[in-house]
Amino acid sequence: MVRLALLGAGRIGRVHARAISMVSDVHLKYVFDPMADASRGVVDAYGAISAPIEDILDDSEVDGVLICTPSDQHADQIKRAIKAGKAVFCEKPISTDLDMTRQVLEVVNKYQGCLMLGFQRRFDSHFTALKARLSEEAIGSLEQLLIISRDPSPPPYPYMRASGGLFKDMMIHDFDMARWLVDERIVSVYATGGALIDEKTRTEGQDIDTASVLLTTETGKQITILNSRRAAVGYDQRVEAHCANATLQVNSVRETNLVVSDRSGIGESPLENFFMTRYQEAYRREMEHFVECLKVGRTPLVTGTDGLEALKLAEAARESLGMQRPMSLLDA
Amino acid sequence: MVRLALLGAGRIGRVHARAISMVSDVHLKYVFDPMADASRGVVDAYGAISAPIEDILDDSEVDGVLICTPSDQHADQIKRAIKAGKAVFCEKPISTDLDMTRQVLEVVNKYQGCLMLGFQRRFDSHFTALKARLSEEAIGSLEQLLIISRDPSPPPYPYMRASGGLFKDMMIHDFDMARWLVDERIVSVYATGGALIDEKTRTEGQDIDTASVLLTTETGKQITILNSRRAAVGYDQRVEAHCANATLQVNSVRETNLVVSDRSGIGESPLENFFMTRYQEAYRREMEHFVECLKVGRTPLVTGTDGLEALKLAEAARESLGMQRPMSLLDA
Amino acid sequence: MVRLALLGAGRIGRVHARAISMVSDVHLKYVFDPMADASRGVVDAYGAISAPIEDILDDSEVDGVLICTPSDQHADQIKRAIKAGKAVFCEKPISTDLDMTRQVLEVVNKYQGCLMLGFQRRFDSHFTALKARLSEEAIGSLEQLLIISRDPSPPPYPYMRASGGLFKDMMIHDFDMARWLVDERIVSVYATGGALIDEKTRTEGQDIDTASVLLTTETGKQITILNSRRAAVGYDQRVEAHCANATLQVNSVRETNLVVSDRSGIGESPLENFFMTRYQEAYRREMEHFVECLKVGRTPLVTGTDGLEALKLAEAARESLGMQRPMSLLDA
Amino acid sequence: MVRLALLGAGRIGRVHARAISMVSDVHLKYVFDPMADASRGVVDAYGAISAPIEDILDDSEVDGVLICTPSDQHADQIKRAIKAGKAVFCEKPISTDLDMTRQVLEVVNKYQGCLMLGFQRRFDSHFTALKARLSEEAIGSLEQLLIISRDPSPPPYPYMRASGGLFKDMMIHDFDMARWLVDERIVSVYATGGALIDEKTRTEGQDIDTASVLLTTETGKQITILNSRRAAVGYDQRVEAHCANATLQVNSVRETNLVVSDRSGIGESPLENFFMTRYQEAYRREMEHFVECLKVGRTPLVTGTDGLEALKLAEAARESLGMQRPMSLLDA
């Protein structure tokens, strides 16, 4: 029986608590959250014990820790948990700062710790099916990759301000997806972006809401990422991999398979409207993978290095947007 | 250069005149229509000469005749044209009466004439692609055939009354499609139907507007035909052939490939709204086939016998509906 | 806390055990299965106690019983459980015999018991979305209903022989679906069917494997049900409701949203290949509903009467096939 | 009756000759092509007279001239025809050289001539439907435009060398599409590209075969264009316009509506495999528009200026690729 602790019982923390409950042979022993209401929900639903971080890390029965606290606490908590000998699953980002991220990875390295990062899309069955096909020889080599990610609606301005910006908060998932799918060094990033949905995104959120980014890899593969904070039809997340012998696509997931055909045309269901619904199954498989790695001492599919590399791309995109020219990643 | 004459310059006659203009090496020499306006259109657009039927049939330059007059004139005109040694293309039906149809076929036989019937769907590229795949061994044998045909809106009541009824006027195309695709004797017909769209269909049109029919073939293949005189989304014409190793479908043709995704869902274009637009290309290929048969003395793909057999099925469906039991076609 | 017991820990029993574990405030206290291996799985996974039926029904803590034993034990077990004052969820059928089914319903009635039948499709989100739209006035009245259900592959011959035949074992779900969606009395049934996939279906399985059935309702609505025991593409389950102002369709659920376009065309994923995967979420919602009904004393959405009525349709279809004529249900 | 002359009876010339034959009230009086075989085909099929350019331009009966000769002859022939008072329809490009293009436009201006350029996609019904919806207020303002154009297979190396390169030969259609759809000044272009399909594209064709380009407009709209000279599935041409209240897409056109579902999945037809088939109807409507403009003295929808502006974008993309940085078009 694997015993885990949850730090942070907010929205995404509860998603992981639920995911844990569906993995066999695992028990969520502790939950930590300064908000009593938040932790109580997890206590009630899964029989976890509410405890301060110190006690959790001191309990030798605890095998692993899930860090779902606000982003600016991640780095410190990872280091403490790793030093305490716990395996760590951390929601992205490790930090929005590159140097801090590198420091954390050094600690992980030094202690030979296990750190898994929460890029859940890698565990989504649609994308894993794409990844599997991409590696088939008959498909031929990848030439153009297109990733479209559009959220149903923008987050609040304070969230934007604290998030590190669209590139680090939202497109970072696409950067990781790109790295995972092309499986090759990305050497340049050119970003365009603006506050096209809402001018206050810039003034109040100190952010952009719409971005189009072009990356190239060392062998010249072309990667396009389109992001928007708002899509009327719902949570729109697509990937297209154009290869020598085939073009592979993962389309967005619709709410239902109902089709209503009337005078105005053929109407299919809107898309899933929330990333937690869209990726519910991926969160479960992600947690299964973490537990599996923890049990057998395997390196997770998504490591701290993946977090660092995606952050570098986000940082480069931010700089490119500011300087209006492509940034090289060769010396990064 | 093949020379043709058009009898009847109404809606469908003009469709064929246009189709002829797109076939190479053919000239539409004559048009006959008692309505001066109708024939004038064809005279102006294609340089045809307006003439009475007698003169047309007497002109030895005329190789073939297209009969697009009202249905009740078909039988007589076919016989006259065949006796005059002309190849005949006739819009369905030969006649709505079985005995009269048989008489016409006897004349065609006796004179070894060439009679092609206007079941244009057999020349539609979507359906010919289906037919071609059906004959592939890898597909395996056909087990269930489903044909759905729904018109955008019902015809006027007087048309209904004169048409011979839904089975002979509308479903006759589906009966021919079924015969063509199963390529096997149909042995029983069971029909249900009613005036579900509009009660006046029954009282004023002396017809039904919605029908579901189940047929079986001699080896037990199951055929379902669903007809409705009204579909909000447009001209809905589909075929599904469930076979041992694959299920083959032809979907309805949409007006455009535009997709509009918004809050209400993913909206595709309505269907083509008119059979003449839907089958424009099929009409051209049909006419090409007629001209080709005429030139080389080949038997057309759709003969008078096909017209007779489809009519028998329509007649059996009509009887089945009246008697509320399946009708055998074994001794028909 | 609601306490349930599971009778029968085979394939479908374990599906329900898993579903229960995802419903809050419910505990699976007991499991009964003469096969020690089967019950042990449920004991280990969910902490249930293995016990004989007598003990289970004697335990006053048990609120409800799930009957997932072989079909021929259902009737007896329902009666015993109802008499013991337990709410009963039973997999279809109550019995494959009409009289026995009526006897069971009398007992349920007499004891004012709660009996819910396992027609899980009524809890599927795609079909409930269809049902909801059907009731909207803007859609207009239903005219033609088409239900296509095709399994990936046929069951073993012994299963066929014991199942009561395709109509009672497989199409019974479609009969229930039809009843639910048309919400109107069905007055006639005409069935065609045969062993088209495999001749041994008839000789060894004493069954048919392919059937097409036409039903009509008291206002003349037309219902078509197509069944096949084998579809190469997977578990193919579709519904099309043609209404005055719209045509509503639920399409089959594909395994993934991956599309691979190459020289041979545009290839989408096969369908979900197993009804338990396809309906996993429906099973959970079904169990939620049962627990809810049990808690508040509400009549379930699917009662014993629904089981009886679907069985009557199946029986009528069987007779129709034998007599090769439509059967009236007016005096059934 | 409008009288036209065709200069150049190669592949695209014959496409236009055929299109003319389907427009009413127009006669193709002349054809010019130094290759006797090419002109003879047009003479035979449409009754045109083969004649040298001088004679054609001298004939006062000729209202308009279609220039379908090799690209390097366009500029000279446009000028001569305009000076002779003929309306001119010219296949793209006017010239692959910017200065020469400007010179031609000056001549057109000076003589107040009518010059229409052959960007046929603007006449395609799918794209015009998109354009119409884009202008609806309910759709909201455009934020991201994505244009994907992939040819079935690359042209021969000599064609590449003479074509002016992928940006001027292929992507120029997409630049025009972008200008037409965003209807706003494009201010920057950043291009990536390479010979990913075939290394000889670079060495023998002196060209690239795969390109991804990012453009921005003066209000910050983001435009992405993806080009590839080879797509296994066929002629893949798509547009996606992400707007405030809706996302509009035009999908590629498939050869047929046949769907084959088997063990391997759900297989739809490949795409139309040839731009002349894909745009057959657009070519007809384009010619109709030219004739209409010629008759009523209207300015065509696609003028020489559109040709110049698209060429500027292509030139800027070429430079961007060479310099590996975005190019501004503000002072171009």
Residue C277, pLDDT score = 83
ipTM of the complex: 0.95
- C257–A251: do the CB atoms touch at under 8 Å? yes
Lookup result for tokens 């427009």: D23
Report d(CA A292, CA A2) in Å as an integer. Answer: 10
Pairing of strands A142-150, A236-243: antiparallel
AA letter at B177: M
pLDDT tens-digit readout, B160-198: 999 999 999 999 999 999 999 999 999 999 999 999 999
Distance CA D307, CA D92 (A): 7
The pLDDT score that the predictor gives to residue C275 is: 83
Per-residue pLDDT of chain A (332 residues), as tens digits, is 899 999 999 999 999 999 998 888 899 999 999 998 989 989 988 889 999 999 999 999 999 999 999 999 999 999 999 999 999 999 999 999 999 999 999 999 999 999 999 999 999 999 999 999 999 999 999 999 999 999 999 999 999 999 999 999 999 999 999 999 999 999 999 999 999 999 999 999 999 999 999 999 999 999 999 999 999 999 999 999 999 999 999 999 999 999 999 999 999 999 998 888 889 899 999 999 999 999 999 999 999 999 999 999 999 999 999 999 999 998 65
CB contact under 8 A, A45 and C24: yes
- pTM, two decimal places: 0.95
Give per-residue pLDDT as tens, D252-274.
999 999 999 999 999 999 999 88
Chain B closest CA to D207's CA: distance in Å?
Answer: 32
pLDDT at residue B139 greater than cutoff 60: yes
**DSSP-derived 3-state class of residue D23:** coil
User: Which pLDDT value is given to residue D21?
Assistant: 87
For residue B213, is pLDDT > 70?
yes
Q: Which residue of C has its CA nearest to D272?
A: C265
How does pLDDT run across C138-195, given as a tens digit for each residue? 999 999 999 999 999 999 999 999 999 999 999 999 999 999 999 999 999 999 999 9
Q: Of D253, D185, D245, nearest to D215 (Cα)?
A: D185
Q: Which residues contact B177 (CB under 8 A, 6 or more apart)?
A: B119, B121, B122, B127, B147, B239
Residues in chain D with CB shorter than 8 Å from the CB of C231 are 261
Which has the closest alpha carbon to D201: D232, D177, D226, D169?
A: D169
Spatial strand order of the sheet with B26-32 comes to: B49-50, B26-32, B2-7, B64-67, B87-90, B115-117
Q: Most A CBs within 10 Å: which of B150, B266, B269, as the mutation test of the A interface?
A: B266
Averaged pLDDT for residues B279-294: 95
For residue A216, what are the β-bridge partners? Answer: A188, A222
pLDDT of residue D331: 67
* pLDDT at res. A273: 86
Distance CA A77, CA A57 (A): 10
Alpha carbon of A41: minimum distance to chain C alpha carbons (Å): 13
Angle at alpha carbon of residue B158, lines to B155 and B163, rounded to 5°: 75
Compare D93 and C22 and report the one with higher pLDDT.
D93
Distance CA B85, CA B114 (A): 9
Q: Could you give the C-alpha distances from C189 to A193, C305, D207, in angstroms and in order?
A: 63, 19, 69
Look at the alpha carbons of C80, C83, C85, C90 in this order and tell me if their dihedral is positive or negative. Answer: positive
Q: Is the pLDDT of residue B153 over 70?
A: yes
CA-to-CA distance for B292 and B304, rounded, in angstroms? 17
Phi, psi of A188 (to 5 degrees): -145, 150
pLDDT at res. D103: 98
Tokens representing residue B281 in the block: 């290309």
Q: Are the beta carbons of C166 and C209 closer than 8 angstroms? A: yes
Taking a C-beta distance cutoff of 8 angstroms, is the pair A192, D219 a contact? no
In this prediction, residues D170-186 reach a mean pLDDT of 97
What is the pLDDT confidence band of residue B1, given thresholds at 50, 70 and 90?
Answer: confident
Strand partners of residue B117: B90
**D274-305 per-position pLDDT tens digit:** 888 889 899 999 999 999 999 999 999 999 99
Q: In this predicted structure, what is the pLDDT of residue B45?
A: 85
The answer to whether D28 touches D7, Cβ cutoff 8 Å, is: no
Which residue does chain C place closest to D268, by CA atoms?
A: C266
Task: Please name the member of D233, D254, D262 whose beta carbon is closest to the beta carbon of C262.
Answer: D233
Q: Which residues of A touch C (CB under 8 A)?
A: 22, 24, 45, 125-126, 129-130, 133, 139, 245-253, 255-263, 269
CB contact under 8 A, B269 and A266: yes
pLDDT band at C330 (very low <50, low <70, confident <90, very high): confident
Tell me the mean pLDDT in the region B58-67.
98
Decide if A228 and D144 are in contact by the 8 Å CB cutoff: yes
Distance of CA A277 to the CA centre of its chain: 15
Residue B273 is predicted with a pLDDT of 87
| Burial class of residue C125 in the structure, from the number of CB atoms within 10 Å of its CB (0-12 exposed, 13-18 middle, 19+ buried) | middle
pLDDT, position D85:
97
Buried b (16+ CB within 10 A) or exposed e, C277-308: ebbbbbbbbbbbbbbebbeeeeebbbbbebbb
| Nearest Cβ partner for B268 among A254, A266, A269 | A266
- A97 by Cβ neighbours in 10 Å (0-12 / 13-18 / 19+) ranks as middle
Tell me which of A277 and B12 has the higher pLDDT: B12
**Higher pLDDT among residues B322 and A24, named by residue:** B322
Chain D residues contacting A via beta carbons under 8 Å: 141, 143-144, 146, 148, 150, 188, 190, 192-194, 196-197, 210-212, 214, 216, 220-224, 226, 228, 230-233, 236, 242, 244-247, 324-326
Cis peptide, bond prior to residue D326, ω within 30 of zero: no
Token pair, residue D20, equals: 């003319």
Task: Report the greatest alpha carbon distance in chain A.
Answer: 66
Nearest to B246 among D249, D257, D260 (CB): D260
Ranges of beta strands (E only) in A74-163 are: 87-90, 115-117, 142-150
Cβ pairs B/D, distance under 8 A: 77
Mean pLDDT of chain D: 95
DSSP-derived 3-state class of residue C101: helix
